[in-house]
Amino acid sequence: MKRTITHLADGRELIYFDRRDDADRGAIDRRPLDPRPVASELRYDPLTEEWIAIAGHRQSRTFMPPADECPLCPSTDTRLSEIPAHDYDVVVFENRFPSFSGNLGAYGDVGGLSEVRPGVGRCEVMCFTSDHSSSFSRLTDDQVELVMEAWADRTAELSAIDGVEQVFCFENRGEEIGITLTHPHGQIYAYPYVTPRTRLQLGAAARYAAAHEGRSLFADVLTAERAGPRVVAANELWTAFVPAAARWPFEVHVYPHRQVPDLAALSEAERAAFAPLYTSVLRAFDGLFGVVMPYIAAWHQAPVREQRDLGYLHLELFSIRRAPGKLKYLAGSESAMGAFVNDVLPEEAARMIRSQVDH
């Protein structure tokens, strides 16, 4: 893999990841860009003990442009994009409209009981391929391995930034999910705090370890699921299963068999084995109803500085589609109370997905 660092016209960092060592990455960004926005402010909610990012500059971000104006496609002689090169394998760059960044402004008291601090961190965009019409499910195994190399690289680099507490790699796909760009891409958030969902999971893992002679909750969940009826795909190093208490109509968790804290800790063999299993599950999602399934794919990684021994890297993939022409909306119970009601029996969801997985 060749890794090339360059910068866009407004100073943002851009990194090419190439399979070929002779790739030429000397193209320069010639666009006249506005100055970069200052970092968001974080406001503390004392009722939930959570930090909320207030990022007003994101209101002006690009929204669903036509394909010939896509900012994630390579630049051409007549149209300039976020990627100066005329082609690329995988590329990562700092988000132009970030929720978190190192470009700090002034932050004052907002009154009430809410503490305020700067939204220090970093947000990056990762383009999986230069092919605008493709998707992650259609990437070759070699392409997926390069994406994983980039994920691991960014996880390690972002974890080293002062003030970053957790790194989150994810992909949103489909208009129903709320995407703003259709080009195959994901994002990486380097948070200045440990996220609420991770705190909940690690708290549960700590209590489980204390009650079970130090055993790993995640590892025991994986062991139990591997012996049950909800496995949808597996190989020697990874297992994909529908969790027993799935929140979403179609939800799959993908675990490596070896407990590691984050993507950077995966072995070369584990990264290679992930590719064919994961893309087969994505294709199975699309095969369920014969339509492109909207989904969120979220990597759960251990925090940077605390409880890393409890963390267990895994991917959570879920769709809000529950049937042909029907979506799962987060209505009163879910949105207001965080109390989920799932309309699809997890065992039935597993059977349906398994029937579509490539064999």
Enumerate the active-site residues. 185
Query: How many C-beta atoms lie closer than 10 Å to residue 340's C-beta?
Result: 13
Q: Which residues, 6+ apart, have CB-to-CB distance to 288 below 8 Å?
A: 250, 321, 352, 353, 356
- 3-state SS, one letter per residue, for 206-245: HHHHHHCCCCCHHHHHHHHHHCCCCEEEECCCEEEECCCC
Residues 6 or more apart whose CB falls under 8 angstroms from that of 273 comprise 235, 236, 237, 238
CA distance from start to end of the chain: 30
Helix axes 268-289, 141-159, angle to 10 degrees: 120
Do residues 17 and 2 touch, judged by C-beta distance below 8 A?
yes
Check if the beta carbon of residue 170 is closer than 8 Å to that of residue 186: yes
Structure tokens given for 17: 């990841």
Please check whether residue 149 is in contact with residue 275, taking contact to mean a CB–CB distance below 8 angstroms: no
Q: Which two tokens stand for residue 319?
A: 């769709």
